Structure formats: C-alpha cells, structure tokens
Amino acid sequence: MQPVIKKRYSVEFRNRAVELVRLGKSVSAVAEELGIGTSILYRWVGPHSQVISPEGSSASGEEPPEVELRRLRREVANLKLENDILKKAAVILGTKPQPPLAR
C-alpha cells in the first residue's frame, strides 16, 4: 500500500477558489477546473469555515448578503414546515392551536 501524500495549497489559491464559488460558479465546476477534490473545496467554502487571510490570521467576517438571504429563506421555510406539523399534531391530539401573536 502506498502512503497518502497530502497536498498543500497556498492561501492565495484557496482564496481564489472560494471567490470563484462565491461569484456563482458551482463547486464541482471550480474543483474540476482547478484540479482539486470537491470535498476540499466544500470545506473551504463551508458555512462555518473561515477564510485565511494572507497574513496568516483567520478572517471570520460576515457572510455576503446573498448567502445570508438564502440561508434565512431556507430557515424560514423550515420553521413554517415545523409550525404546520405542530398545528396538525395539535388538531390530532385535540388541543386548540395558539392564535398568532399580534405584531
């Protein structure tokens, strides 16, 4: 069995790859174009990952507005689904659902 050789990528290379994904290219297309694995690129781009600045310190800034909007819309959809499920469960169990809060 051959030993596994770990490739090391420069900070500039990583940042360029992440920037291509954030500009709208798919992760698989960028990974193929750069000759890296999609799992590595997903790790670099992931929601909880931190992009490393050239100085070596980690830069955990806010996410771009488009990404935040997508994440929040996904979260709202999940919450609506959970709310509907709870309403149906309340009907099945014979309890009255709470009236919506006044805004």
Between CA 64 and CA 47 the distance in angstroms is: 11
The region that residue 36 occupies, defined by phi over 0 for left and psi between -120 and 50 for alpha, beta otherwise, is beta
**Kindly report the CA angle at 84 between 79 and 85, in degrees rounded to 5?**
95
Q: Give the model's pLDDT for residue 77.
A: 92
Q: Give the model's pLDDT for residue 52.
A: 45
- For residue 80, give both structure tokens: 């609506």
Indicate if 16 and 45 belong to the same structural domain: yes
Contact (CB, 8 A) for 18 and 44: yes
Q: Give the model's pLDDT for residue 62.
A: 67
Q: Give the model's pLDDT for residue 5.
A: 79
Residue 59 β-bridge partners? 51
Show Cβ contacts of residue 63 under 8 Å, excluding neighbours closer than 6 positions.
Answer: 47, 71
- Residue ranges making up the domain that contains 22: 8-55
Q: Name the domain count of the chain.
A: 2
Q: What is the mean pLDDT of each run of 10 residues along the chain (103 residues)?
A: 80 89 87 90 74 45 80 92 89 75 71
Indicate if 50 and 71 belong to the same structural domain: no
Please check whether residue 48 lies inside any domain of the structure: yes
Indicate if 18 and 46 belong to the same structural domain: yes
Q: Give the model's pLDDT for residue 56.
A: 43
Please check whether residue 102 lies inside any domain of the structure: no
